[in-house]
Structure 1
Amino acid sequence: MKKELSVYVLSLLMLTGCSSVPLTGRKQLLLVSDQEVLSSSLTQYKDYIKSAQKSTNATQTAMVLRVGKNIAAATERYLRSNGLSDEIKEFAWEFNLVKSDEINAFCMPGGKIVVYEGLMKLVSSDDELAVVLGHEVAHAVAKHSNERISQQMLTQYGAQILGQTLSQKSEMVQTIASTVYGVGAQYGVTLPFSRKHETEADYMGLILMTMAGYNPDKAVTFWQKMSASSGGKVPEFMSTHPSDARRINDIQKELPAIKAKYRK
């Protein structure tokens, strides 16, 4: 009875939590409200910013702000023109350049985006920076953080159902089954899900930067530079990101259609 009830609850959650990603139309499961995600992420972001050392490079800081604001503006124009004006109130855009040699950038829900100085060493133009910021803005617009939280919730529910199913088995069997389930969930669900988000953010980012007036062809050369700068590669099936070669290949395939449809 408990098993049937758990399956029913999972089915109900999946039916009531369905949404669609702007620009791609992909169906996604969102089990947590935007308000809950934004409240939690804002607290984490404020804590991070308090401890982070902001860059003193005025030129690069101005560059991040300039390109970020242009892409945010293009994003909001798209949302308004496609009947998604209500989504705009969820964003309070903020673009910061932080002093760190790490080659990275990240996005928090609600449009809080941080770029590290190390990444700026690979950026030689506004167009190349737009590749990065378009990608990060896309994560926010697609609500990938919310979706990952929801996916983790389902994983936990699945583990509970598994435990109920094996409740009459020996402790050893339960332990082995739980271990297998955990490994299967990580490599079969969580990591591929993360790679899907990265690929989707690449695609959406190309569109957003193009709508903002930047050259999407620069995405290929930028990711080639990123690939050359990286050290040892993690096997793709164990990584949260697609391989460099796959990422570049996917971008090259999408570019002609994106330029034809979205270039001003």
Structure 2
Amino acid sequence: MRKKLTTALIALSAAMMLSACTTSPTGRSQVLLYSDAQLAQSGAQAFAGMKQEIPISSTAVTNNFVQCIANNIIQQLGPSASPDDWEVVVFDSDQVNAFALPGKKIGVYTGLLKVAQNQDQVAAVIGHEVGHVLAQHGNERMSQSTLIGISQEAVSVALQSNNVAQSGAIMSAFGLGAQLGVTLPFSRAHETEADIIGLDLMARAGFDPRQSINLWQNMNKASGGNRPLEMLSTHPAPDTRIANLRANMGPALTTYNAVLNKPKCE
């Protein structure tokens, strides 16, 4: 019975992967198990919860500044993209961060505006976060967790059915291996991909892509250098990130220089 269950779980995992294979905006292979509607609903629910839990900035100048930048980024998402379809909220928090969620939600923390020194640097962050949504990284991470869970269950059943000694230790090692070998590298790949997409978005919107490098230099300085080893981090090390941005700066600068009407959100 256990052998049949193990075989069924493996077959289910393989079938799910084959049926959900797609390609990201940069050409990277992905497995996406969830629909856009499911992700949009989850994003909207999460955003609603955050608006109830975190104070929202009431400063008109700050809100207008962030909205202006976001609008210019959103307008690069396609001919039918409209800023009116997106909800942009400035949260009054010292967190140096921003995010975008499926369901067309963007959140920016006021703490970010103390580190990002101009409209171009804020645009680099918003472009990056929207890049995560465009590349469906949330869907990919959820799908990945689902597949890892199925695989772990299959291994657990196989170990128990064959009375394998130290099965608990083996399962713990399997979990760690999944984290170091799959989850964290995928997260770093997502961050790098979002940087590339964001660089293109901000350049097409007329924001200076060179400021993305200044932004991450500021971010590194603000962190005080207190970062985990890159191998154990979900984000690339600052030097790695900056090197990747520099490597993709040529096309972004060409795009930026061709934009005649640059935004003036400041």
**TM exceeding 0.5:** yes
**CA 1:125 to 1:156, structure 2 compared with 1: closer, same or farther past 3 Å?**
same
More off after superposition, 121-130 vs 244-253: 121-130
Q: CA deviation at 1:73?
A: 0.7
Partner deviation per Cα, 1:159-212 (whole Å, 9 max, x = no partner): 011012212344752211110011111111111111111110000000011111
Q: Matched residues in 1 for 2:9 and 2:257: separation?
A: 48
The 8 Å contact of residues 204 and 255 in structure 2, kept in 1 or not, is answered as no
**CA 1:117 to 1:201, structure 2 compared with 1: closer, same or farther past 3 Å?**
same
Q: CA deviation at 1:263?
A: 4.7
Which residue is 2:264 aligned to?
A: none
Write out aligned runs for 1:4-153 (5 A): 4-22=7-25, 24-77=26-79, 92-153=85-146
Which residue is 1:245 aligned to?
A: 239
Which residue is 2:252 aligned to?
A: 258
Question: 1:157 aligned to 150, 153, 161, which one?
Answer: 150
Which residue is 1:2 aligned to?
A: 5
Q: CA deviation at 1:262?
A: 6.4
Q: Name structure 1 gaps, 5 residues minimum.
A: 81-87
Which residue is 1:236 aligned to?
A: 230
Structure 1 runs of 4+ aligned residues shifted over 4 Å read 169-172
Taking structure 2 as the reference length, the TM-score comes to 0.89
Q: Secondary structure at the match of 1:216?
A: coil
Q: Secondary structure at the match of 1:167?
A: helix
**CA 1:172 to 1:60, structure 2 compared with 1: closer, same or farther past 3 Å?**
farther
The 8 Å contact of residues 110 and 140 in structure 1, kept in 2 or not, is answered as no
* Aligned-partner residue type, residue 170 of structure 2: A
Q: Matched residues in 1 for 2:52 and 2:68: separation?
A: 23
The 8 Å contact of residues 92 and 112 in structure 1, kept in 2 or not, is answered as no
Partner deviation per Cα, 1:195-252 (whole Å, 9 max, x = no partner): 1111100000000111111110111111111111103111111111111110011101
Q: How many residues align?
A: 253
Identity %: 35
The 8 Å contact of residues 32 and 146 in structure 1, kept in 2 or not, is answered as yes
The 8 Å contact of residues 91 and 108 in structure 2, kept in 1 or not, is answered as yes
**CA 1:261 to 1:213, structure 2 compared with 1: closer, same or farther past 3 Å?**
closer
Question: 1:167 aligned to 154, 157, 160, which one?
Answer: 160
Q: CA deviation at 1:55?
A: 1.2
Q: Matched residues in 2 for 1:177 and 1:210: separation?
A: 48
Q: Matched residues in 2 for 1:172 and 1:93: separation?
A: 54
Q: Secondary structure at the match of 2:99?
A: strand
* Aligned-partner residue type, residue 69 of structure 2: V
The 8 Å contact of residues 131 and 206 in structure 1, kept in 2 or not, is answered as yes
More off after superposition, 155-164 vs 51-60: 51-60
Q: Matched residues in 2 for 1:176 and 1:146: separation?
A: 30
Q: Matched residues in 1 for 2:22 and 2:87: separation?
A: 26
